[in-house]
Amino acid sequence: MLAVVGACSIVILPDEASAARAECAEILTAPGSNCAAFDVEVPPGASDLKSVQVCAAIMVAAPRPPLLIVTTLASMHLLPAVARAQRAARQLVCGYVLIDAGQGAPGADPSGESWPDAPVFLIAGIGDAAARSHAKLRGWQVFDAEAPTEIAFLIGELALELAP
């Protein structure tokens, strides 16, 4: 999904298993919020192709830079490919927002040469100690929020704050 807030476009990566992500996306793309939306269908067992499909969907949506990329911890593995694709398309990424939907710390941290290339923010519930610890070790800023309305509000605030 894609949402435009002020001068920053919010790109919400797919994660079918996250109810919090779905509710947050619905709030950010509500009528009157100047938004366009897209979904990427991924066939079962095609996890290696998911990053390609997500990058293609972002390209087709043609969001106006700078971009604020939003994902859940479960889909965090897609971020290096998304970062490379945006660089290749000369799309400025102003930040990444990770939503901890109660999954705890990610299984594999995709940090490397290609990611992160912009500030990273974690939005976590009060009791999510594992995710908080991981984020703090990486130097990422952590925000407290559990309800989708709070999460959407924080994402909107970050989009306004990070826009040049």
Average pLDDT, the chain: 79
For residue 143, the model assigns a pLDDT of 93
Residue pair 79/106 in contact by the 8 Å Cβ criterion: no
Mean pLDDT of the 37-45 span: 50
- Helix H, strand E, coil C: the string for 80-108 is HHHHHHHHHCCCCEEEEEEECCCCCCCCC
Q: What predicted TM-score, i.e. pTM, was given to this entire model?
A: 0.85
Q: Among 128, 159, 157, 156, which Cα is nearest to 144's?
A: 128
* Distance between CA atoms of residues 92 and 36, nearest Å: 19
Domain ranges of the chain: 2-162
User: Hey, which CATH number is domain 2-162, 1.25.40.10, 3.30.499.10, 3.40.50.1820, 3.20.20.140?
Assistant: 3.40.50.1820
Residue pair 21/15 in contact by the 8 Å Cβ criterion: yes
For residue 39, the model assigns a pLDDT of 45
Q: E strand or H helix at 144, and its extent?
A: strand 141-144
User: Higher model confidence: residue 8 or residue 145?
Assistant: 145
The pLDDT tens digits for 88-125 are 999 999 999 998 755 545 556 777 777 899 999 999 87
For residue 106, the model assigns a pLDDT of 55
Q: Which long-range contacts (CB under 8 A, 24 or more apart) does 150-154 make?
A: 151/20, 151/24, 151/99, 151/123, 152/24, 152/27, 152/28, 154/97, 154/123
Mean pLDDT of the 4-33 span: 75
